[in-house]
Amino acid sequence: MSRRWFGTDGIRGRVGEAPMTPDFVMRLGHAFGAELQHAACGARPAVLIGKDTRISGYLLESALEAGLAAAGVDSHLVGPLPTPGVAYLTRALRLSAGIVISASHNPYPDNGIKFFSASGEKLPDDFEARIEARLDGPLACRPAGELGRAYRVGDAAGRYIEFCKSTFPAHLDLRGLKLVVDCAHGAAYHIAPHVFHELGAEVVPLANQPDGLNINAACGATHPESLAAAVLAHGATAGIALDGDADRLIMADASGRMVDGDQLLYAIVRQRHAVAPVAGVAGTLMSNLGLEQALGRLGVPLGRAAVGDRHVLEMLRERGWLYGGESSGHIICLDRHTTGDGLVSALQVLAAMVAGGASLADLVGDMPRCPQVLRSVRLRPGFDWRAHVPLQAAMRAAESTLAGRGRLLVRPSGTEPLLRVMVEADDGDLAQAMVDRVVDAIPQSG
């Protein structure tokens, strides 16, 4: 399905440039509200709006609220709250939908809009298509007596903290563990340290002083170097790194070695499988071959969905499975939440450590990762990579060289004008050489 504005995770872009302009976001809010009104059949819809800590969140929140009000939809504002927290509260408060203003792991000049259904799940493609169709229509304001109102939700952070704690086994606690928690100066800055502390851990917080401009800046799940250094400096049991909206997770073991989403997913599934058989796990085309092999030794199949946690969730629903995720750290445990949640995922890993008396290194020690090299190349406007003859020739040559030893994956980003080139092979030097061969054939932007 071709979509003008929606990518794999909502709508995203540079603030001040289309589509992240106040007028477009107001129209987006109105289009979404009008679609909710159509589906509500006369009932008054109400939407939860949360955001991360970007300075542009104030601007876009007001624009969204205005568009929704014009469509006769009430707004319930929670301020900075992790994306999965918005999903949870939307469901818990029985609201019509949830909206998150966030560009996730992107730097502060970017921002985005994500939508959740009343059940706390990402919107299906056909709903997003209907929103886009309404964007081309007029922005019709409801009569004054039918305009939407805005409300502030009290103690949203506290409610979400209690929900996260409820996903940790009641008979266990985190006493004796020292955890470094990197909040990425993002939406979990006032939440994540409390979750782990209230379960008994000694917490060393990092990047928990947002100023509107420092979100994801040299910190968080996409920049885990400071986490590793802090784990070693403080002699911590483990480190936990979230991204700007706290829906992804990367961890560090006691030696400072990084543990990615594939390994964390394996740690969770291995512990669950020891209690009750796990029917299958949903990964993506980017999931490491080592995950597939390790799960295979447990007798658990791995399905590969398209990249993006929404596609992982779709596969889980289709196959009736409970666990899935991406190497980037989006991990879904449907026995705990309806969407990927960095905090909830960290608690499941920690529960496996505590229950088994094991270190994080122990949990993932029998999942060796195949060397994987990923490069992202910014594309020139209008560049058609599928029709570019030199690039296609380089891809065929790389695939021929990798035959029987690895695989090549080339795909466009769903949120940025980037082409992702990934090679996985039994030898790291070979993987690097094949990525270089393909990337060298791509005309560089700028």
**Residue 295: how many other CB atoms lie within 10 Å:** 24
Taking the C-alpha atoms of 82, 87, 93 and 99 in order, what is their torsion angle to the nearest 10 degrees?
A: 80
Name the strands in the sheet holding 302-305, side by side, starting at the edge strand that comes first in the sequence.
302-305, 281-284, 323-325, 331-333
Tell how strand 281-284 and strand 302-305 pair up: parallel
The CA dihedral of 381, 386, 387, 391, to the nearest 10 degrees, is 90
Q: What's the CA gap between 426 and 370, in Å, rounded?
A: 6
346-349: which pairs have CB atoms within 8 A and are 24 or more residues apart?
346/196, 346/240, 346/249, 346/251, 347/164, 347/165, 347/167, 347/168, 347/195, 347/199, 348/167, 348/268, 348/271, 349/251, 349/264, 349/267, 349/268
Question: Token match 């004054």: residue?
Answer: 144
Separation of alpha carbons 221 and 68, rounded Å: 33
Positive or negative CA dihedral for 397, 305, 102, 133? positive
Which of 135, 4, 152, 6 shows the shortest CA–CA distance to 71?
135
CA 110 to CA 229: how far, in whole Å?
28
- Are the beta carbons of 408 and 422 closer than 8 angstroms? yes
Residue type, 224: P
Residue in the block written with tokens 């400072």: 256
Could you say which of 96, 102, 104, 345 is catalytic?
Answer: 104
75 is annotated as an active-site residue: no
Q: How far is CA 65 from CA 83, 131, 151, 245, 275, in A?
A: 18, 16, 10, 20, 46
Query: Would you name the residues annotated as active-site residues?
Result: 104
